Structure 1
Amino acid sequence: MEEKFIIKLITNCFLQYSKESADLNTEDLEGMYQKVLQEKTENPHEGLHDIVNDIVYEYLTQ
């Protein structure tokens, strides 16, 4: 999948939660990107936006 597209989805998802993604470092974004790819591979029928939302929510509630 296109890495830039998924990173943009992650960034936009942070804005939905009224959180700035500017405070994210590259390692955090890369980690979330890898989780999205893994989850999409394990659950190919689940929507990409749903996966991204779940991962961002999990990150914010840690």
Structure 2
Amino acid sequence: MEKKLVYKMVQNCFKQYKHEHDGIPLSEKDYEDLYERIVLVKENEKDTPLNDIINDVVYEFLAGQ
């Protein structure tokens, strides 16, 4: 899975949830943690579309803050 594509999809998802256009205040570690979580879920749920997984992971991340 291409990391740059996943990062871009994560950024777009944050914009959707937070309606921000000034950028997403995430550290590189946050991105890496989200990426690892997305890869893990995708490995376990091969039939689930990547976009759905990213939306779920980002929602969980925002709910935990």
TM-score range, shorter chain: over 0.9
TM-score of the aligned structures, taking structure 1 as reference length? 0.93
2-structure distance, mates of 1:56, 1:7: 11
Match of 1:61 in 2: 63
Helix, strand or coil at the partner of 1:5: helix
Match of 1:30 in 2: 32
The unaligned stretches of length 5 or more in structure 2 are none
The unaligned stretches of length 5 or more in structure 1 are none
Match of 2:5 in 1: 5
Q: For the aligned residues, what is the CA RMSD?
A: 0.9
> Following superposition, which runs of at least 4 residues in structure 1 exceed 3 angstroms of deviation?
none
TM-score of the aligned structures, taking structure 2 as reference length? 0.89
Number of residue pairs matched by the alignment: 61
Percent of aligned pairs with the same residue?
38
Cα deviation digits, residues 9-58 of structure 1 (max 9, x gap): 0000000012441x100000000000010000000000000000000000
